[in-house]
Structure 1
Amino acid sequence: MFEELKNINEKPGPFEFYTARDLWTDEYTSQKMLEYHLDESIDASSRNIKFIEESVSWIVSLHNLDSDSDLIDFGCGPGLYTNRFAEKGINVTGVDFSKRSIEYAQKIAAELGLDVDYIHQNYLDFTTQGKFDVITMIMCDYCALSPNQRRIMLGKFRRLLKAHGKIILDVHSLNYFNKKEEFSAYELNQLDHFWSAEDYYCFVNCFKYNPEKVTLDKYTIIEASGRKRVVYNWLQCFCVTSLKDEFERNGLRIDNVYGDVAGRDYDPQSPEFAVVVRKK
């Protein structure tokens, strides 16, 4: 028992483990994630619906997108952004790891008579010959990737952009990192049975990595049946300078910095910020 508890509370190296597949492909948790996405009143897996509508309008207006424009959204989820872009006549592609989310997005698109190219795939593995006017990665998805995974994505972004194309994404700031506190806790059926339909105990360990400016929420789920899972939720935090340097090293440059992907003014005290990026 002591060794088991020791393993549960052990702090791994930064981005040592990657468990996105377990989170997004598990039959039960993928359904719970979809429910979170579709709750229009909260900012959980997706932004609230009012923010999404503001964000779509701002992105379309900022880049003068129309029926001749091509947009791809990495981590599109159940199509909350992509279907709205398509409603404005834009040619849209959505890529997501969750089969359940993609199927929901396709269902809504079909009901609305929208022609959206939805692709069920890990976007780290995604390839296409297409080129795009706008690439989006929203809800701080970029922060969940390791340094090597981010290099893969930035190389992909650069290849997929048209000559004057733009990338729009948001990230967690150093203010988020500084306010995050380390803790350990456990709870019966944590998050109202989010992890399993059967009873379980969930051990939660929040770790911070100061030199790297990375946080980790480590979830160890032990079900009544004896099944055990560990899910690692990594978040890389940035300041404007560190994000700028990362893009520069990968042939990209930041055009503008905003408070969020709805175009609000940048606030140095905010827990997140957004950038518009182009090729160097």
Structure 2
Amino acid sequence: MLHNFFHVFSQPLKPPLFEPGELRFWDDPYISKSMLEAHLNQTHDGASRRNAEIEKTVCHLITSGFLKTGDRVLDLGCGPGLYSSKLCLEGMKVTGIDFSQRSADYARAQAKKSCHNIDYICADFFNIDYEGTFDAVLQVYGEICTFSDEKRDLLLSLVHRALKDNGVFVFDVSTRELRMREGRKNMWYFSEGGFWRPGRHLVLEMGFDYPENDTWLNQYIIVDEDGTVKVYRLWLHDYSFETISKTLEKSGFKVEQAWNSLSGELYRKGGDWIAIAARKA
């Protein structure tokens, strides 16, 4: 194991922009279990925002008129259905899509238990093929920030096609201010079992800044006890109001409203988040 520890540090440190890491993450049998637990944990906002904030978000989007009873809503990256279930209770017809089989199964089980008529699909949402189907598309907690420009533009084209005329895309993005305050520091530790693995392993956490691209990389190198090394990368492309507005305009959207949070905090420059309601032009 120590040999692999030193081997890791002998490699070039800063990866090329948006170079992928280990492909199996969201659907990894063990990590997906840890992710589901993090989604449901009410002591932190590690994977999902907590229930109180989710309820505030749903309430705000309804009172502001962007969502309403009877709407068909597509929840992209729905996870265990924390937003979808609340939208369903408000009389909306919801389709939730998530790449994690474990999260989708959990969401389906909860919907069945609560007699909620929600269509949960386990799939890569880059493969969606809807046309003029939804009144609104929802994607929360900065997921759009995790994509390269090319994949982001592909996603926006798919969302635009899936929306009805005058439909609305509601989402949020992180800002450079948040990244500079919360960017991960370099560290390493041994674990007897935790988020990444059930058994003993070494974790190397590295943060890399790409300021010319407003992009940050959180990289996690996991060295198992048998010497296996896997690299997981979470890319985060941050935005300003100006950059996200121009991006949306190029993809056929017009920003109708912006906030500092999806729960309705008034927009002020310099906040950690920018929440957007963009209308299909």
TM superposition score category, shorter chain reference: over 0.9
- The equivalent of 1:247 in structure 2 is 248
2-side partners of 1:85 and 1:208: how far apart?
37
1-side partners of 2:184 and 2:134: how far apart?
41
1:49 partnered with 2:51:
yes
Report how far residue 238 of structure 1 moved: 0.5
TM-score (norm 1): 0.94
2-side partners of 1:272 and 1:70: how far apart?
26
1:21-170 alignment to 2 at 5 Å?
Answer: 21-63=23-65, 65-129=67-131, 131-170=133-172
1:4 partnered with 2:8:
yes
The residue type equivalent to 2:140 in the other structure is: I
Moved more, 181-190 or 130-139: 181-190
The superposition leaves residues 114-158 of structure 1 with CA deviations (integer Å, 9 ceiling, x where unpaired) of: 110111001112223451111110011010111111011100111
Q: Percent same amino acid at aligned positions? A: 27
2-side partners of 1:44 and 1:104: how far apart?
18
The superposition leaves residues 167-201 of structure 1 with CA deviations (integer Å, 9 ceiling, x where unpaired) of: 110101121233355742211129x6110001000
Q: Is the alpha carbon distance of 1:201 and 1:248 closer, same or farther for their aligned partners in structure 2, counting shifts above 3 Å?
A: same
Q: Is the alpha carbon distance of 1:275 and 1:66 closer, same or farther for their aligned partners in structure 2, counting shifts above 3 Å?
A: closer
Q: Give the conservation status (yes or no) of the 8 Å contact 1:106–1:118.
A: yes
Tell me the matched-pair count.
Answer: 277
- The equivalent of 1:206 in structure 2 is 207
2-side partners of 1:167 and 1:47: how far apart?
19
1-side partners of 2:144 and 2:235: how far apart?
10
- The equivalent of 2:18 in structure 1 is 15
1-side partners of 2:54 and 2:191: how far apart?
31
The superposition leaves residues 224-246 of structure 1 with CA deviations (integer Å, 9 ceiling, x where unpaired) of: 12222110011000110011111
Q: Is the alpha carbon distance of 1:69 and 1:96 closer, same or farther for their aligned partners in structure 2, counting shifts above 3 Å?
A: same
1:254-273 alignment to 2 at 5 Å?
Answer: 254-273=255-274
SS in 2 for 1:245: helix
2-side partners of 1:197 and 1:77: how far apart?
22
Question: What are the ranges of 5 or more consecutive residues in structure 1 without an aligned counterpart?
Answer: none
- The equivalent of 1:278 in structure 2 is 279
Question: What are the ranges of 5 or more consecutive residues in structure 2 without an aligned counterpart?
Answer: none
1-side partners of 2:141 and 2:246: how far apart?
21
Segments of 4+ in structure 1 off by > 3 A? Answer: 1-4, 64-67, 180-183
1-side partners of 2:49 and 2:277: how far apart?
19
